[in-house]
Amino acid sequence: MIKYFLLIFLGCLSSLYSAPEVQVGVESRDVYLNEQFLFQIKVTSQEECPPPELPPMRDFQVQAEAPQRSQSTQLSIVNGRRSLIQSTVTIFNYRLTPTRLGTLTIPSIVIKVDGTSKRTQALQISVSEPEKITGLSLELVPSVRECYVGEAVMLTWRWYIDREIHNYVFDLPIFTRSEFAFPEYLPEIDRRRERQYQRVGNRQQVNLIGLQSNVTHKGKKSILFSFEYPLIPKQAGIFALPDSSLTCTITDNRPNRGGRRNQSFMDDFFFSEPRNTRGLTLTAPPVTLTVKPLPQENQPADFSGIIGSCSIETRVEPTAVNVGDPILMDITLSGPRFLDPVRLPPLENQPALARDFKISGTEPGIIKGERKVFQRTLRASNPDVTAIPALEISYFNTGTGKYETARSQPIPISVTAARQVTVQDAQGSSGPQADSPVGQELEFSEAGIAHNYEVEKLLPAQSHDPRRWLSQPVTILALAAAPGVWLFLLSLTTLYRAHHANPRAMAARRAAGKCLRALRALRGGGEDSAKAVFVILQDYFQAKFQLPPGVVTYQDLEKLLAGRNYPSEFYASLRTVLDSCEASRFAGGGGLAPSELVPAAIESVKRLERGK
């Protein structure tokens, strides 16, 4: 009887273990107005759970993030029989921002788990007025407030920081507006300040590079983090640019911070943020941009849309040709700041050029620094041509508000008439008296055709035998030497190219060893250890993953490693190390002590290498 009872008990225990479970949690139930916080749903099930359909949340702005999934296997032995019970843990992440004050409710959510529907519990959130934050501000500054259609405007974002911040992400909806074009742009990097550059995390995934500087803002020492990007209006009008904002994490001085949490799984669920911090959202003051249309009056017929100052230069090669020979002409335009949309107007519309030359078709041009180079092929149509005439390009000068013309300099050339090919040219004769069958009479021989009667005397016997010649050692050595030398040189060339083909790949292979040696040399270091660790790790990341210059944050590293299928357990420990380094950079302290930071960095690099 006891045996059967034990079997029933173990069977029920096994079914309880495999039963699906749904839990919810929030970072905190006490938040400020417009403070973003994390809301998560944790589902434990046998099958992979699909994302839930959220009910309307009128009191919150909701931003969904990528879910996190992990699997585990449990071995069960009942009455000597083994069985494996697999479970999948799925965590759905949402960033919520309260839009009004008071006690707000996150409603119950229906989750479909293993063919059944489960409902989460509702959570109440207390939203209060935020305290006034000084020393942290964001602003958007356009290079001009009025411009013309097609005129480039440089947008500059400036973020002033006077305290320790941990994580940040910008929301820049201007990049989603169809009224504007955004040419490819990367700022010029000052190699002397390379460590002060950093990729700017943003929700629109735009490639932005920011620069960190020490400044005095409103009479207080601060850090200025700034970045820029060009905007080109495609239509006229008055535009209120969408609000630019950022979310970051700062120290929270409220004594009850973290007191009201869902304790069912918070201790091992919200491990990413320390509990004495809170999210903060900063919004830049609104900006209005007035875009004026290009004037229709006096617009040239050949205007191709070049906006801004413009100059043109031409170069040809060769300058001495026959009629119909190709002449390669380089046309260089400079002046407009962003040259990618610049196109060359049809040269067939240049009367002086089209009269004397045949002109090749159009091509898009190549950007070379601050210039754009176009190539055309010309062919002179008559020998009277003495120069390639000046080219004229119309453009709209935004400084004067008028259409103007840029002119190149004429280029002297020499054109010779093509020589006519005669029958004698084709036969190879140089004149009527040349030795050719055409200019000579036949001669008759009275003796007839002479026969070769003295064969032995005129053609003495030869003893050359190819087989005898090929069997000589000197011949064999000579024939074998050439391919042997060729194979030797080919092997050396292959080894050299393999060794030097990708120096960055070689540096990537050596990055871990170089990093660990540098970190071990810091053991027992002083207060500057955090900054030294930061520099060493940045060199390691850039070499190992062959990244461009710029600071690599944990968010950058996490996306990079996740995209390369690195398991998170091999690099999650780097977050504490990088947060400590970042705290030292932005606030002069915080995080791990120097005696703890260096060993933690060494262990984190080793774990990352094990994840390859």
The pLDDT value given to residue 494: 75
Q: 106 and 160: one domain?
A: no
The pLDDT value given to residue 447: 52
Asked if residue 595 belongs to a domain, the reply is yes
Burial of residue 560 (CB within 10 Å: 0-12, 13-18, 19+) is middle
Instruction: Report the distance separating Cα 594 and Cα 571, nearest Å.
Output: 20
Instruction: Report the distance separating Cα 502 and Cα 500, nearest Å.
Output: 6
Model pLDDT for residues 382-423, shown as the tens digit of each residue:
999 999 999 999 999 988 889 999 999 999 999 998 766 555
Q: 246 and 370: one domain?
A: no
Model pLDDT for residues 117-134, shown as the tens digit of each residue:
888 989 999 998 877 778
- Total domain count, the chain: 4
Calculate mean pLDDT across residues 194-219.
Answer: 91
State pTM to two decimals: 0.56
The pLDDT value given to residue 152: 92
Asked if residue 442 belongs to a domain, the reply is no
Q: 384 and 527: one domain?
A: no
From the list 580, 611, 600, the residue with the least C-alpha distance to 274 is 580
Q: 17 and 94: one domain?
A: yes
Domain edge (last residue) among 390, 416, 442: 416
Q: 316 and 375: one domain?
A: yes
Asked if residue 541 belongs to a domain, the reply is yes
Domain that holds residue 190: 137-292
Query: At 416, is the secondary structure helix, strand, or coil?
Result: strand
Q: 36 and 67: one domain?
A: yes
Model pLDDT for residues 29-70, shown as the tens digit of each residue:
888 887 788 899 998 888 888 889 899 999 998 988 888 888
Asked if residue 283 belongs to a domain, the reply is yes
Asked if residue 57 belongs to a domain, the reply is yes
The pLDDT value given to residue 265: 45
Q: 57 and 119: one domain?
A: yes
Which of 281-295, 479-493, 549-563 ranks highest by mean pLDDT? 281-295
Asked if residue 446 belongs to a domain, the reply is no
Calculate mean pLDDT across residues 363-384.
Answer: 88
Asked if residue 397 belongs to a domain, the reply is yes
Q: 62 and 207: one domain?
A: no
Domain edge (last residue) among 63, 98, 128: 128
The pLDDT value given to residue 79: 65
Asked if residue 589 belongs to a domain, the reply is yes
Q: 324 and 229: one domain?
A: no
Q: 169 and 269: one domain?
A: yes
Nearest 5 degrees, angle CA 336-CA 337-CA 343? 45
Higher pLDDT, 528 or 491: 491
Q: 142 and 121: one domain?
A: no
Q: Domain holding 342: CATH number?
A: 2.60.40
Cite the beta strand spans of 252-319 per DSSP E.
277-283, 287-292, 311-317
Q: 551 and 582: one domain?
A: yes
Kind and range of the H or E element at 147? strand 146-148
Let me know: does 346 contact 362? Beta carbons within 8 Å. yes
The pLDDT value given to residue 260: 43
Instruction: Report the distance separating Cα 175 and Cα 205, nearest Å.
Output: 10
Domain edge (last residue) among 385, 416, 447: 416
Instruction: Report the distance separating Cα 542 and Cα 539, nearest Å.
Output: 5
Sign of the dihedral through C-alpha 563, 569, 574, 575:
positive
